Structure formats: C-alpha cells, structure tokens
Amino acid sequence: MKRRFIKIIGLSLLSFCLMPYKLLYSATKRIINQNLTKEQKKILFNEGTERPFTSSLLHEKRAGFYHCVNCDAKLFNSNTKYDSGTGWPSFTEALPGAFKTKVDYSFGMKRTEYHCAKCGAHHGHVFEDGPGESGKRFCNNGLCLIFKPSN
C-alpha cells in the first residue's frame, strides 16, 4: 500500500517536472499558415500520412525548391528529388538544418520521423535505402510541401 502510494507520488512528481519540456515541445509545433486544410493539419500536427500516389508533386520535375506548407522554410532542392516508386515525393537529401528527427515506433516498426526545424510540423520518415551518395530516402507527404520553381 505504502509502496504504491510512493509510486503514485513519484510519477506525478515526475510528470510535473517534465511539464515545462512538454509545453516547450508543443510550443515549437504551431500553425502559422491559417489556410491549411483539415487533411494537411492531420499530417503536420498529428503525424498523419496521405494516401500514396495522390500527390500532384509526384510528377513535378522542374528545377526549384520545396518549402514547408506551414512556415515556408526551404526544405529540399529539386535536384535531390527522385521517383522511389513508393507513391510519395522522395528525396535523397534535405537542405542542411531543414529538419529535426525523432525515432518513431508506431505500427511495430522502428522508423525515423522528421519534423520541420522551424515550425516543428511533421513531414515524413527518412529511410536508409536511398539511391544517392547519402544512402537516405526522405519520404515526404506531398501535402506538406509547396514547390516554388526557380524561374
């Protein structure tokens, strides 16, 4: 009985101490673009995934940059984009400092999730089977990106 009580007190103390970090983390995730659709918000802020082969960006081949749909941060150069056959826009490399990664264990798999470094929004997962020199495959939800052609 006493032990259980100590455990409960300990756990509540612990969560109390962790609260500022939790708040800090959620504060870094914020809606900047007020015109986001429900589907975009689900992916960006609730770690959702769009259905494969639905993104219009899959066929985008022009030169330019891909930006975060929420905060407009520049994330990918079009020269790192390739067709991975997965049905999601894929890149071999992100621009330096564009993302922060976090290991995700959902669906019983260990995957590395990445978030926009500027606004904290979820974009996709990065895998180690890319065809480029980096060996990386950034699998990005098309709905999270805005493409801006160079000319």
Residue from 55, 70, 90, 141 touching Zn ion (CB under 5 A): that is 70
Cα gap 21→80, rounded to integer Å: 35
- Total site size for Zn ion, rule CB under 5 A: 8
Residue from 43, 68, 98, 139 touching Zn ion (CB under 5 A): that is 68
Name the residue nearer to Zn ion (CB basis): 15 or 39. 39
* φ/ψ (deg, to 5) at 38: -60, -40
Contacts of 144 (CB under 8 A, 6+ apart): 40, 43, 44, 68, 69, 70, 121, 122, 123, 124
> Interface with Zn ion includes 84 (CB under 5 A)?
no
Active site residue 144: no
Residue from 58, 116, 126, 139 touching Zn ion (CB under 5 A): that is 116
> Interface with Zn ion includes 31 (CB under 5 A)?
no
**Minimum CB distance to Zn ion, residue 3 (Å):** 46
Which amino acid does the sequence have at 139?
Answer: C
**Minimum CB distance to Zn ion, residue 118 (Å):** 5
- The distance from CA 107 to its chain's CA centroid, rounded to whole angstroms, is 17
Complete edge-to-edge strand list for the sheet that includes strand 64-68: 74-77, 64-68, 145-149
Name the residue nearer to Zn ion (CB basis): 57 or 73. 73
In the complex, the residues that contact Zn ion under the rule CB under 5 A are 68, 70-71, 73, 116, 118-119, 121
Which amino acids are annotated catalytic? 139
